[in-house]
Structure 1
């Protein structure tokens, strides 16, 4: 017995991306794209140089604090995970347990950043993704803020 998949499924970028993730072939393609593409995008401008307790390299001290909090709360999480959509959008953090995406909004006084923030918020809304948005003030009070926000999506922090 075998299955004959429709062409639309076989050509799905999301499906192919997921298969590449599982097979471990995606990183090779990502590295190839990065060397080919020499633009000054966000990832090139802000190197992930802060090492979190769990070994993730993140781009800011605030992201490091969030990552460390998730690790200490024993929550499985991914850093800079691509959203399962056609658009090339990455979340700051992803928690598979509740299918929750976390965005930390840090550069609130930068026009380009604010435009990108609005664009990303619209994408999260368009696809009805579970989204937690954190600010600098939230990072100062993660123990109070994050468990409450996670609980909305059925994720128990403690």
Structure 2
């Protein structure tokens, strides 16, 4: 998302700069103090942010697609505590589930929204001490991805039972390649290559999930997921199968569309897995110690 200063935004929208400043002030999104425009809580919820320039100091910026007509009422938004009350869980758990969904990330002892979080109704806020946090539209309580991940996490939904609701292709693959190979940490995987990959994560103390369902509308499972760094890992092991290659292409499109961090492995990588996988992880910001 491109962000513009208020003056630049006025030019982009064909408005007089003075007119836009006055409109934003009237809406309660900015206010004037010591000859400087500052952002309010409602202004931040509307999408505003701040940037710093060494010469001019801090100034307010706005998303280029800012909807000036929108109305913001912070009283109608929910914090993690209110959401936790609705699901009968703690606010800490709520934020961890949001993090698992990829909607928020840790920052300065608090949480900042990701692009996915903003798309799902999140509004970035900041406490007086500078700690960031998020508020959410009431509709988040009915968000199927949030409801699903909380239900699984709280033991109210058996994820394996969801398989019967997936495509026949997923069911056929699981029948054709049963997960009967036991890894060092007790996971059961479907191939020797997956066993070696899983054992690599275990040996190096990397928390990982196997065949995790992606939090998207389309039914899709990744091979491995590293929750601490939001990294997905795919091993492409059936390159001679036309149906498999078609599915592979669709999965790559999904990863790109959702801006997910993906590591790809093939048979050549497996031959020298420790060196190859460590190198690929390092390139996406995860160093092996």
Taking structure 2 as the reference length, the TM-score comes to: 0.50
Return the alpha-carbon distance in structure 2 between the equivalents of residues 38 and 118 of structure 1.
17
Cα deviations by residue, 1:91-114 (Å, 9 ceiling, x for unpaired)? 100011211000000000000000
Return the alpha-carbon distance in structure 1 between the equivalents of residues 82 and 233 of structure 2.
40
Unmatched runs of 5 consecutive residues or more in structure 1: none
Among 219, 225, 228, the alignment partner of 1:97 is: 228
The question of whether the paired residues in 2 share the 8 Å contact of 1:13 and 1:86 is answered with no
Which residue of 1 is the match for residue 214 of structure 2? 83
Root mean square deviation of aligned Cα: 2.3
The question of whether the paired residues in 1 share the 8 Å contact of 2:208 and 2:227 is answered with yes
More strand by share: 2
Unmatched runs of 5 consecutive residues or more in structure 2: 1-80, 87-135
Return the alpha-carbon distance in structure 1 between the equivalents of residues 287 and 166 of structure 2.
41
More helix by share: 1
Taking structure 1 as the reference length, the TM-score comes to: 0.88
Which residue of 2 is the match for residue 46 of structure 1? 177
Q: Which of the two has higher C-alpha Rg?
A: 2
Highest RCO, 1 vs 2 (Cα 8 Å, sep ≥ 6): 1
The question of whether the paired residues in 2 share the 8 Å contact of 1:97 and 1:155 is answered with no
Moved over 3 A (4+): 1-8, 33-40
Deviates more, 1:146-155 or 1:126-135: 146-155
Return the alpha-carbon distance in structure 1 between the equivalents of residues 223 and 167 of structure 2.
22
Cα deviations by residue, 1:104-140 (Å, 9 ceiling, x for unpaired)? 0000000000000000000000000000000011011
Distance 1:53 1:8, change over 3 A: same
The question of whether the paired residues in 2 share the 8 Å contact of 1:102 and 1:132 is answered with yes
Return the alpha-carbon distance in structure 1 between the equivalents of residues 258 and 173 of structure 2.
23
